[in-house]
Structure 1
Amino acid sequence: MKRVNKLSINHLLESLRIVYRSSPKWTLINTIITIIRGCIPLLLLYVVKELIDVVTNHINTINNNPQHLYYIIGATALFFLLNAISGSVSSLVRERQSHFVNDYVQNIIHKKTINIDYKYFEDANYQDTFYRALNDANFRPARVFYGILQLAQNSLTLLLILIILSNIHWAMIPVLIISGAPIFYFRIAHTRKIYQYRKQHTEDERRVHYFNRLLTAKDFAKELRVFNLGETFKREYEYFKHDLRDKQWTLSKSKTLYEVAVQVLATIILLLIIGYVVQQTVEGHISSGSMAMYFLALQRAYAVLQGLLSSLSSLYEDNLFLQNFIEFNNISIEKSIANQLFPNPIKTTIEIKNVSFKYPNTNKWVLKNISLTIPKGKTVALVGRNGCGKTSLVKLLAGLHQPNEGQITVDNINWHHIASSEISKNISVIFQDFMLYNVSAANNIRFGNMRRKDENGIIQEAAQKAGIHELFSNLPEGFDTTLGTLFKGSQMLSRGEWQRTALARSFYNTDAQIIILDEPTSSLDAFTEAKLIAHFKEITRNKTAIIVSHRLSTIKLADIVVVMENSGIAEVGAPDELLKQRGVYFSMLESLK
């Protein structure tokens, strides 16, 4: 448990640094307002005490001057007004600072997700960390910030009130602290249990979230209806949800029982203190106004103490967010040694030399001892059964992963040593799970090369090559029409039309020397595919092309066919040569007939 305490303190200090760095000016303003708000309750107690004493003297004195009474009434009204105004201003200032805090945290998250290695997104061990850190990012920073402010304000108020109560007897301070200690202990103990519970059941929470998506997200809506899966998914959702809630309910019941017991103890202690104050008043040691002040101080101290304990336990609970956010933020962005330029133009070949690769935290080799030469300007087709490693090889060539063994070179320059910006400039890729961007048709194409200035002529040319120009031209706002279904006035495309859009995005990057197309015609109709094939040589002129495909019409475009099997390469050669060998490639084509 000591480790948890240490972590909590370090993480709370880190949260303070985040708050301050988000906006030093608003942090200072908030601090000043917090100090003022912390002192106001003490001033209110004092003016109430003075008001009661003055009124008592006014009643008991025959010849009196009401002017002092008016001053006290005015001061009382002024402090009540100051309390109300400062509360409103405090809420406004906190809201303003929370915007800066949230923006700061979102910037951290965005910077991290943009720059960390792609391997993290395919590593199951990091999914829980991502989930816990990202799921709470929209509200936890502000909540931590408010908790720290409330803790500071309550601490200051409680300190000042305890100083007042110590005038009755020095023992008031330790007695009140003792009355609150059991509550604090049990809340911290409960928070530790909650922390461990959430850490252990993050995967279960993700599973509940997943089944909720199956029931509500558009991506699953068609099969949900066609296969009548609604009730099945609903049962799974309810099962896992209720399992989690039952465990949470058990923890909450335990917490409540303990708190009731310690609250009874705290109430008994409070009654003993009140009895002592009444006795001191009866014996004439303190005035009626002082007694009222002490009663109000006791009530206020008890309320502030409860608030202080709630703030502490809430901040302790926020360790769940803080630890996982900091763990997420501490994911190292490896300083790349990749600073070499991509050869421009490529002079000879791309060499894949004894490359082996497996995904993070798995023991299965998806590529094993692959060697391949891709000559400059040639079109290479990667073929083979599903799961043989074609897409994994594409990811290596796109720079998303590094080989576990071996290396990839271009003109004898190690791929790993080439800057990522150079790779994205010289390689254009369309993946089989291409993205559908709900932006304008023009921007859907322009995303293929954001280094290029907005050149509508090249956008139009890319659309022509992909066979999508006529469709976009006839949209309500032409190429400025928003695609998809998310926003008003958008135009939905068919799967084949989206694939042609992705192809246009790839063709827009005219700087690219290498084009990689992973199943580029899988969603195209025969007519559109034929048009694309007819223009393929023009599209790939002076470029090296790598195609992953199962379609015979696309494979025939290749100068070289690479047949992959069992995580390795079974055959390499020109299409006609491989057919004559009557080997694996021949058997594949025969099975397609």
Structure 2
Amino acid sequence: MDPVRTGGLRVVRAAVVLCVRAAPGTVALSFVMMFVGGVTPVGLAWSTKLLLDGITAGDPAGRNAGVAGLVVLGVLTALLSHVRRYCDQELSRRVKVRTQIELFTAVSAYQGLAEIEDSAFHDRLRIARDASEFAPVQIMSSLLTLASSVITLAGFGYTLLRASPWLAGLVLLSALPTLRAQIRLARRHGEMIVRASPFWRRQAFYAALLLDPRAAKEIRLFGLAGNLRTRMAREIHAGQAEERAQDRETLRVDLGLAAMTSVLSGAALAYLAARIAAGHGTAGDLVVLIAALAATQTALTSAVLDVATTGELITTFGHYIDLTSRARPQPRPVAELAALTGEIAFHDVWFRYAPGQEWVLRGLDLVIPRGRSVALVGENGAGKSTIVKLLCGFYAPVRGRITWDGVDLADIEPLELRRRIRATFQDFMTYELSAADNIEVGDIGGGRGRADLAAAADWAGIGETLAGLPRGYDTLLSRTFSDSAGDGGHEPTPGVVLSGGQWQRLALARAVLRTSADLLILDEPSSGLDVRAEHEIHRRLSELRRGRTSLLISHRLNTVRDADTIVVLRDGVVAERGDHAALMAAGGVYAGLFRLQAAGFADETVPR
């Protein structure tokens, strides 16, 4: 899909409105400077004419008026450049804040994971993010410069028209091929940015990977640095090849246009000089005409480039407009989801991650009754994690439906659904924030105090560890950033990195913090713990799940045997279901897997 389907005028209007809302006073001042900047060259030329004519004609009044005009306009021109530079920088700062907030608000409005996992979306997001930092200001600047050029053209064009109508027409007509060529170049440059975006995004990925502390061990152990640098360089070369081809075409066109303009200017100058030499005007008239010719050519070139630049910016900034306008969440019929009173049910659910891929779920029927614990087991790829993603509203079923007390999840606002769920995932995040923040994200905005965070940490068996950190719960859990709070006389200090098992406990504390949730999801909650810690956490989780609606996923079958219902998945459907005793008695898939795991421990005789 072409993201600039919104239309060029809409993109320009959006950029102008954004600038005005971000810095109305600065934009107003810029309009004043635009007018002054357009009038000043005309005033300088006519002041020069007054000065020269006053000198040659012995007219002191004319001479003094010319000097005064040159001094005032010269000072104004010098001041104008500094004020314009400050306004541009201030406008850029304010626009950057606004666009970054708007862009990432829009990205966060995508309630599912489909866009976040789409490479094309990330390519467009990179273009939108880069363009949002400079495109609105440049579009505004181009429009102001264009308006200023038009004012200059009006002033000097009238001067040329009085001297020679056919010459004025020829100069104006010469801008047409330049305009056409520059618009074509701008369009191709915008297309080049889109083509090169995947290369630059992959280059940034490899660069970030080489600096990622989480990847540093394997990169050094396996000697991957050279390979990653080679990959990074390959992407740089590919991106630069696109840019180089575009720059060469631009150079050829610009050289041809510059040659045409120079020849025309030389011929026009020779004609004007001959007219003045023949007695058709004074030396001052010659100065004004030369200034008018030069300024007209400059203004025409500037206007053409501004039009072309705006066209290019429309292409890139169009991605920003498209992303921020389409990502607004749609209203759902259910504004508030009542507490679970019955069951959560999957009704003939079919799901795959993309058309043409294999089905992950194939007509799944599954019930999670209120107040009961359900465990999902099965081999890798059986669909366990996919069920969790569907339950959380990260994806929607391709066919079938999922209901919460009979209400289809498709009719429930995702944020309202997730308010009723607390979870810990196998691939949980290790946020480079303080220990307190890392727990509080489990119920952000829930008004949790330090006592609640400490209670959750104590339950997960990590409270004593966190309290013993250099700054307790305020300690930064990262060495990538320094703790630069600097309050209370503290000097910036490096953060602390927890072990994998400690992070697992912290993730569990994060999950149990949201006590008001109806559904508890535990996806491999003890995979990173040692034997003793796993046994203790398993005991605590069993107590936590008792009498609560919960879904447990684990490959360690000894941790699921106390679930009310154990569901065995195979090939995207339910192969078996029942409690531990019933499934063992049936001697099916579950019994085979359980005995296989148990055999690994039974092979060794423990000495007394």
Report which stretch shifted further, 326-335 or 499-508. Answer: 326-335
Report which stretch shifted further, 499-508 or 197-206. Answer: 197-206
8 A contact 2:47–2:65 mirrored in 1: no
Counterpart-to-counterpart distance in 2, 1:248 and 1:474: 54
8 A contact 1:186–1:255 mirrored in 2: no
Q: Does residue 1:40 correspond to 2:33, yes or no?
A: no
The corresponding residue for 1:252 is 247
8 A contact 1:338–1:420 mirrored in 2: no
Q: What runs of 5+ residues in structure 2 fail to find an aligned partner?
A: 483-492, 601-608
Counterpart-to-counterpart distance in 1, 2:6 and 2:328: 26
Counterpart-to-counterpart distance in 2, 1:240 and 1:201: 9
The corresponding residue for 1:393 is 387
Q: TM-score, normalised by structure 2?
A: 0.90
The corresponding residue for 2:586 is 581
Deviation at 1:380, TM superposition (A): 1.6
Counterpart-to-counterpart distance in 1, 2:172 and 2:360: 63
Does the C-alpha gap of structure 1 residues 590 and 128 become closer, same or farther in structure 2, counting only changes over 3 Å? Answer: same
SS across alignment from 2:422:
strand
Counterpart-to-counterpart distance in 1, 2:473 and 2:282: 83
Q: Does residue 1:482 correspond to 2:487, yes or no?
A: no
Deviation at 1:464, TM superposition (A): 0.8
Deviation at 1:375, TM superposition (A): 2.2
Deviation sequence 1:394-430 (CA, Å, 0-9, x none)? 0111122222222222332333333334322221012
Q: TM-score, normalised by structure 1?
A: 0.92
> What number of residue pairs does the alignment pair up?
584
Deviation at 1:574, TM superposition (A): 0.7
Deviation at 1:237, TM superposition (A): 2.5
SS across alignment from 2:133:
coil
Counterparts in 2 of 1:64-143, with a 5 A limit?
Answer: 66=60, 69-118=63-112, 119-143=114-138
Counterpart-to-counterpart distance in 1, 2:294 and 2:413: 66
SS across alignment from 2:574:
strand
The corresponding residue for 1:210 is 205
Match of 2:365 among 371, 392, 412: 371
The corresponding residue for 1:156 is 151
Q: Does residue 1:331 correspond to 2:336, yes or no?
A: no
8 A contact 2:142–2:310 mirrored in 1: yes
Q: Does residue 1:199 correspond to 2:194, yes or no?
A: yes
The corresponding residue for 1:471 is 465
Deviation sequence 1:417-449 (CA, Å, 0-9, x none)? 333343222210122221222222112111111
The corresponding residue for 1:493 is 498
Match of 2:508 among 484, 503, 507: 503
Q: What runs of 5+ residues in structure 1 fail to find an aligned partner?
A: 59-63
Deviation at 1:361, TM superposition (A): 4.4
The corresponding residue for 2:567 is 562
% identity of equivalent residues: 26
Does the C-alpha gap of structure 1 residues 210 and 282 become closer, same or farther in structure 2, counting only changes over 3 Å? Answer: same
8 A contact 2:422–2:517 mirrored in 1: yes
Counterpart-to-counterpart distance in 1, 2:46 and 2:283: 13
Deviation at 1:34, TM superposition (A): 1.1
Does the C-alpha gap of structure 1 residues 462 and 338 become closer, same or farther in structure 2, counting only changes over 3 Å? Answer: farther
Counterpart-to-counterpart distance in 2, 1:4 and 1:455: 47
Deviation sequence 1:346-390 (CA, Å, 0-9, x none)? 333222221122224454321111111222222222111222111
Q: Does residue 1:357 correspond to 2:351, yes or no?
A: yes
Match of 2:529 among 524, 536, 542: 524
Counterpart-to-counterpart distance in 1, 2:464 and 2:97: 42
Match of 2:452 among 448, 453, 458: 458
Does the C-alpha gap of structure 1 residues 558 and 135 become closer, same or farther in structure 2, counting only changes over 3 Å? Answer: farther
Counterpart-to-counterpart distance in 2, 1:309 and 1:168: 25
Does the C-alpha gap of structure 1 residues 341 and 257 become closer, same or farther in structure 2, counting only changes over 3 Å? Answer: closer
Deviation at 1:511, TM superposition (A): 0.7
Counterpart-to-counterpart distance in 2, 1:399 and 1:325: 26
8 A contact 2:566–2:580 mirrored in 1: yes
Deviation at 1:586, TM superposition (A): 1.9
Report which stretch shifted further, 471-480 or 450-459. Answer: 450-459
Q: Structure 2: which amino acid aligns with 1:333?
A: R
8 A contact 2:577–2:583 mirrored in 1: yes
Deviation sequence 1:175-215 (CA, Å, 0-9, x none)? 11233333332222222222333334433443333333333
Does the C-alpha gap of structure 1 residues 340 and 414 become closer, same or farther in structure 2, counting only changes over 3 Å? Answer: farther
8 A contact 1:101–1:142 mirrored in 2: yes
Which 4+ runs in 1 deviate beyond 4 A?
A: 3-6
Q: RMSD across aligned C-alpha pairs, in angstroms?
A: 2.4
Deviation sequence 1:14-70 (CA, Å, 0-9, x none)? 322333343444333322221122111111111111111112223xxxxx7x56534
